């Protein structure tokens, strides 16, 4: 079986000074990609900054025989995002792959969550992924090829107590992934999202201790590396990944119940049919869902 290589390809990986991003950077570099290791180097809640983590990963990649440059810019500002993409162009002359991975946590139960805690989390995850992708997009479009991988979370897909900000951000990335996948299609740009579980500084105080050995960052990076490869044709998809398991996650709609001129009581009386899951429809574009509603009324 031929090895999937990235020789001649250039990747930007945000938040790659620690955890999952670090592992993605090492994996891509090991397979020949030139890498921009971006990391603000702050704390888990996004406060502080340090050039250390990005520099350490660059040093490790170089020690392993790879090529990498460090960026300590902030994904959440337009200037930061521009500088991250520019670092790839300046150092390597092109850009092929963007892994939007940088993230922070500001967990708080909903009743106590401040506006700032909400905004800061959305700024890094959603705004950051938007801004970096936006800067990269013209380069990818121009060359008729590109790969973008966004980092969602089971917390967004399925909900998580104390994470209203984070869940909102992570489900927002599913929408960004779908629409960017549609808009990138003609230019050969494939956009996918992952919803990982891995033992990192972000999860070590939440996950049970026995997860450490199995839920490795490397088990997530194998999927990210495949999604970054030119042979991967998937786009607009989200994948659950952790501890060696990979699964497609899709948004589906049940068969539904329909009746012209229905009353509030009709809704109550047909609740079971409204809640039914089979046979489901999983539209790949907006129009398919609208068509299903139209068909039901004919
Ligand atoms: N570990 C998990 O189980 C898990 C689960 C679901 C989603 N995720 C997501 O995976 C991604 C990586 O998380 P991790 O677990 O490796 O945590 P981590 O804290 O080890 O890594 C996140 C990195 O992002 C960097 N970062 C934060 N804000 C930044 C900014 N504004 N600009 C640039 N860099 C910034 C941090 O310095 C850090 O190195 C995050 O988006 C996280 O939400 C992780």
Q: Ligand 1 centroid to 267 CA: how many Å? A: 43
CB 96 within 8 A of CB 144: no
Give the DSSP letter of residue 3: P
- Determine, yes or no, domain membership for 4: no
Domain of 16, CATH number, reads 3.40.50.720
Same domain, 270 and 222: no
Same domain, 171 and 271: no
Q: What residue owns the CA closest to ligand 1's atom 6?
A: 153
Same domain, 139 and 61: yes
CB 85 within 8 A of CB 135: yes
Q: Is residue 297 over pLDDT 80? A: no
Torsion of CA 136, 191, 147, 6, to 10 degrees: 150
CB 148 within 8 A of CB 98: yes
pLDDT for res 182: 97
Boundaries of domain holding 112: 10-249
Residue 166 annotated in active site: yes
Q: Which two tokens stand for residue 225?
A: 């590396």
Q: How many domains does the chain have?
A: 2
Model confidence over 123-145: pLDDT tens digits?
999 999 999 999 999 999 999 99
Same domain, 125 and 202: yes
Q: Which two tokens stand for residue 283?
A: 């539209």
pLDDT for res 152: 98
- Determine, yes or no, domain membership for 3: no
- Determine, yes or no, domain membership for 95: yes
Average pLDDT, the chain: 96
Same domain, 165 and 97: yes
Q: What residue owns the CA closest to ligand 1's atom 4?
A: 197
Q: Ligand 1 centroid to 140 CA: how many Å? A: 24
Same domain, 287 and 219: no
Ligand 1 binding pocket mutation candidate from 17, 20, 163 (most atoms within 8 A of CB): 20
- Determine, yes or no, domain membership for 255: no
Q: Ligand 1 centroid to 109 CA: how many Å? A: 21
Same domain, 214 and 283: no
What is the average per-residue pLDDT within 231-238? 98
Protein residues with CB under 6 Å of any ligand 1 atom: 14-15, 17-21, 38-42, 44, 46, 53, 74-76, 101-104, 124, 128, 151, 153, 196-198, 200-203
Within 10 angstroms of residue 1's Cβ, the number of other Cβ atoms is 3
Q: At what angle do helices 128-143 and 164-184 cross, to 10 degrees?
A: 10
Q: Which two tokens stand for residue 215?
A: 């839920």
Question: Judging by beta carbons within 10 Å of its beta carbon (0-12, 13-18, 19+), is residue 246 exposed, middle or buried?
Answer: middle
- Determine, yes or no, domain membership for 133: yes
Same domain, 269 and 240: no
pLDDT band at 289 (very low <50, low <70, confident <90, very high): confident
The pTM is what?
Answer: 0.97
- Would you put residue 185 in left (φ > 0), alpha (ψ -120 to 50) or beta? alpha
Same domain, 112 and 188: yes
CB 89 within 8 A of CB 82: no
Using the structure block, give the residue that is written with the tokens 């704390």.
43
| Nearest partner of 15 among 65, 49, 63, 64, judged by Cα | 49
- Determine, yes or no, domain membership for 36: yes
Q: What residue owns the CA closest to ligand 1's atom 37?
A: 41
- Determine, yes or no, domain membership for 240: yes
- Enumerate the β-bridge partners of residue 67: 34
- Determine, yes or no, domain membership for 1: no
Same domain, 277 and 140: no
Q: Ligand 1 centroid to 101 CA: how many Å? A: 6
What is the average per-residue pLDDT within 168-192? 98
Same domain, 242 and 110: yes
- 3-state DSSP assignment of residue 207: coil
Same domain, 270 and 205: no
């Amino acid at each position: 079986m031929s090895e999937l290589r990235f020789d001649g390809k250039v990747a930007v990986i945000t938040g790659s000074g620690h955890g999952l991003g670090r592992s993605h950077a090492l994996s891509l570099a090991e397979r020949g990609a030139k890498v921009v290791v971006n990391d603000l180097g702050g704390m888990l809640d996004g406060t502080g900054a340090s050039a250390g983590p990005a520099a350490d990963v660059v040093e490790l990649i170089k020690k392993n025989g790879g090529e990498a440059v460090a960026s300590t810019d902030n994904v959440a500002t337009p200037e930061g995002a521009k500088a991250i993409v520019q670092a790839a162009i300046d150092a390597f002359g092109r850009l092929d792959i963007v892994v939007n991975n940088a993230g922070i946590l500001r967990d708080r139960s909903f009743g106590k969550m401040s506006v700032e805690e909400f905004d800061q989390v959305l700024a890094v995850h959603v705004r950051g992924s938007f801004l970096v992708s936006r800067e990269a997009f013209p380069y990818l479009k121009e060359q008729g090829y590109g790969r973008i991988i966004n980092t969602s979370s089971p917390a967004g897909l399925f909900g998580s107590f104390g994470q209203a900000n984070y869940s909102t951000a992570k489900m927002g990335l599913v929408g960004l992934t779908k629409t960017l996948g549609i808009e990138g299609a003609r230019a050969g740009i494939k956009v996918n999202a992952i919803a990982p579980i891995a033992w990192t500084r972000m999860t070590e105080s939440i996950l049970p201790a026995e997860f450490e050995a199995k839920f490795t960052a490397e088990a997530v990076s194998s999927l990210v590396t495949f999604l970054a490869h030119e042979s991967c044709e998937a786009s607009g998809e989200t994948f659950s990944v952790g501890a060696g398991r990979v699964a497609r996650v899709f948004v589906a709609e049940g068969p539904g119940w329909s009746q012209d001129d229905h009353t509030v009581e009709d809704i109550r009386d047909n609740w079971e049919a409204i809640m039914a899951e089979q046979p489901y429809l999983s539209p790949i574009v907006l129009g398919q869902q609208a068509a299903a509603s139209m068909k039901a009324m004919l």
